[in-house]
Amino acid sequence: MPCAEILLDRSLVTGEPVVSVHADLTPTRRAAGQARALVASVLNGAATRTLDDDTVHSARLVVSELVTNAVLHARTDLHLDICHDEHTLLIAVADGAPVPVAGGAPPAESQSVDHEIEVAIANESGRGMLIVATLAADFGWRPREDVPGKIMWVLLDLDAHPDSAAV
């Protein structure tokens, strides 16, 4: 699963994620709405943490952008992973396209997206990925290990919002 690959690469958690939810989506107009609803359901039902509305809103916005971009550019089936531990939320969207659309040459494999790529994405596709970059603690992409394609991932820092409190 894409989340597991990212978590292992980034060493985000010392144990198992508190929440780990996975869903397959078809590349239709409804996919982004389905992803937003799933994120809200997962985060509002998290048993170990009370997440503020801003965090849930940011996560919904991020997943909507990732899924919309995959539907528009990859046009393949999608796999959505939502994982979080006590401090970090990971949203990953896997698709069958080999590289992200970024207005030119793709960034090197398995790296965070740097400022030049953010600008190229914003110029080509609008402001969506620039918004993601603003909300994210980190984000990037990597090739899939299991099948052809890529994984776009975003980390949101759950501790950055002072209204979020441990239960």
Q: What is the pLDDT of residues 49-70, one digit of tens each?
A: 677 888 899 999 999 999 999 9
What are the structural domains, with CATH classification, of the chain? 2-158 (3.30.565.10)
Q: CA neighbours within 13 Å on the CB side: how many for 39? A: 29
> Which pLDDT score, from 0 to 100, does residue 48 have?
55
Higher local confidence (pLDDT), 14 or 72: 72
* Beta carbons within 8 Å of 44's beta carbon, 6+ residues apart: 51, 56
For the entire predicted model, the pTM comes to 0.76
- pLDDT at residue 19 is higher than 70: yes
> Which pLDDT score, from 0 to 100, does residue 131 have?
87
> Which pLDDT score, from 0 to 100, does residue 121 have?
44
pLDDT band at 6 (very low <50, low <70, confident <90, very high): low
- pLDDT at residue 26 is higher than 80: yes
Range name among 40-54, 70-84, 102-116 with the lowest pLDDT average: 102-116
Rounded to whole angstroms, the Cα distance separating 156 from 15 reads: 18
Give the sign of the dihedral formed by CA 116, CA 119, CA 123, CA 127: positive
Nearest to 1 by CA among 85, 100, 81, 99: 81
Average pLDDT over residues 128-150: 87
pLDDT tens readout for residues 101-115: 654 333 444 444 444
> Which pLDDT score, from 0 to 100, does residue 110 have?
42
